[in-house]
Amino acid sequence: MSAEMLTLFMFGGLLIGLFMGHPLAFVLGGVAVLGAWLGPGAKTLGILINNIYGNSMDNYVLVAIPLFVLMARFLNDSGVTEKMFDTMRLLLANLRGGLALTVVIVSVLLAATTGIVGASIAVMGMIALVPMLKYSYNKELSAGVIMASGCLGILIPPSIMLILMASYSPVSVGALFAGALVPGVMLGTMYALYVLIICFIKPSYGPAVPAAERAETSTGQLLIMLAKYVVPPMSLILGVLGSLFLGIATATEASAIGVAIAFVLFLIFGDRKASTCYHTLIEASKTTTMVMLVVVGATAFTGVFSIGGGMDVIHEVVMAMPGGTIGALILMLFLVFILGMFLDWTGIVLLSFPIMLPIVDSMGVDMLWFVVMVAVVLQTSFLTPPFGYALFYLKGVAPPGVEIVDLYRAVIPFVALIVLACVLMAFFPVLITGLPGMLLGY
């Protein structure tokens, strides 16, 4: 089989398998085995096994993934999220759109402490969507801000996506964390500004909480709530990112620090039941297993694709794009956007990086800038139909009356804001490279 036919077969088989509803990890692995038999030959399978163990299972950086997942589960099961939301809700109650603004702020804090998109959206959907609808907030604004803000968990460090990206690129975890921090906070700020502007133009979209309810909590009580429920999660952020950026710990060691702090918060705020702790460990194990299975399947897929000559085919197509380097970069980022409609971020990273990064390197483009740009574009993979996971996470916890069509409309302005953020970072690369240069001398 020629390299061109192998390329069509493997990507066609991938799409067919996904549309049939099979799990991504097994589709990738199955297509890889079939591609090996039809393309380079069965002898390729032995090489793939060595690659899986040598490049993936022995990768020390990946040890941080189960630790960060466990950290996120401990914090999520501690119950501090609900208390933090109530505190910020009362603090911003006087503002139009204050509840939606609270969702953005709490989601940014959750992104810097949990990083699990599904958990963040489900939790915020349960504790924020009903109150917003109760106070006559616009349905689409309410749903859109929960979904878009919840997706920041894969961008704002510490993030298991960034760790996986670092393990498959020449960029260190520390540099990638520093490079993604400003874009992540910038996106959160853009969401907050959008909420304030739209509620200023259309007050009915986000009315203020009634004065009688705001008066029930004094300033002193509010300060105590801030100290009790907002400061502790901030200590987790400072413990993880501070130890990493100051050079005290590696990414893996920082993840262990995060688990220790999150466990203490679980003991303070959680129910401290053995059954809850057991549930936390099981859920963390399931998430880790899912990620690692996709790693194995994607390593096999890209290995066969590379040996069969598919990398050369993609390289020729990309380099033939009009516009030179700029045209090639736009095409690659657009392909990531399109893949996001059908695959989750794990599959996209593991499929695209072995193909795209050598091309980016040959063009002399800053690798840190490109990897962070991909991370920002991947925000849309949770929001764009037909397989936008954020849509289904929120639909699963939404009250009656919130339909899937409402959610499709709700994400449109936030996808536009993500595209705008990408344009700004393309024209001002310092938004990505500035902080790593200051902290790490990148």
pLDDT digits (tens, 9 = 90+) for 352-363: 888 889 889 988
Of the candidates 259, 398, 303, 334, which has an alpha carbon nearest to the alpha carbon of residue 406? 398
Confidence band, pLDDT 50/70/90 cuts, at residue 22: confident
Domain ranges of the chain: 3-440
Does residue 441 register a pLDDT over 70?
yes
Confidence band, pLDDT 50/70/90 cuts, at residue 423: very high
Confidence band, pLDDT 50/70/90 cuts, at residue 396: confident
For residue 141, what pLDDT is reported?
93
**Residue 99 and residue 144 in contact, taking contact as beta carbons nearer than 8 Å:** no
Percent of the chain at pLDDT > 70 equals: 93
Radius of gyration of the chain (CA): 22
Q: Which of 45-59, 65-79, 296-310 has the lowest mean pLDDT?
A: 45-59
- Residue with the bigger pLDDT between 212 and 173: it is 173
For residue 216, what pLDDT is reported?
67
- pTM, two decimal places: 0.84
Query: DSSP for 60-77?
Result: GGGGHHHHHHHHHHHHHH
For residue 42, what pLDDT is reported?
63
Whole-number average pLDDT of the chain: 84
| Contacts for 48 with CB less than 8 Å, ≥ 6 apart | 32, 36, 299, 300, 303, 304
pLDDT one-digit tens code per residue, 89-98: 888 878 888 8
For residue 215, what pLDDT is reported?
63
- Residue with the bigger pLDDT between 240 and 309: it is 240
Which pair of tokens denotes residue 287? 């998430």
Query: Average pLDDT of 117-135?
Result: 82
Confidence band, pLDDT 50/70/90 cuts, at residue 54: low
Q: Quote the CA–CA distance of 385 and 380 in Å, as a whole number.
A: 10
User: What type of residue sits at position 342?
Assistant: F
Q: Which of 68-77, 254-263, 312-321, 325-334 has the lowest mean pLDDT?
A: 312-321
User: What type of residue sits at position 6?
Assistant: L
Query: Average pLDDT of 106-121?
Result: 79
Does residue 200 register a pLDDT over 70?
yes
Does residue 51 register a pLDDT over 70?
no
Query: Average pLDDT of 284-311?
Result: 80
Which pair of tokens denotes residue 270? 């959680």
Which pair of tokens denotes residue 92? 């911003």
Q: Quote the CA–CA distance of 246 and 296 in Å, as a whole number.
A: 33
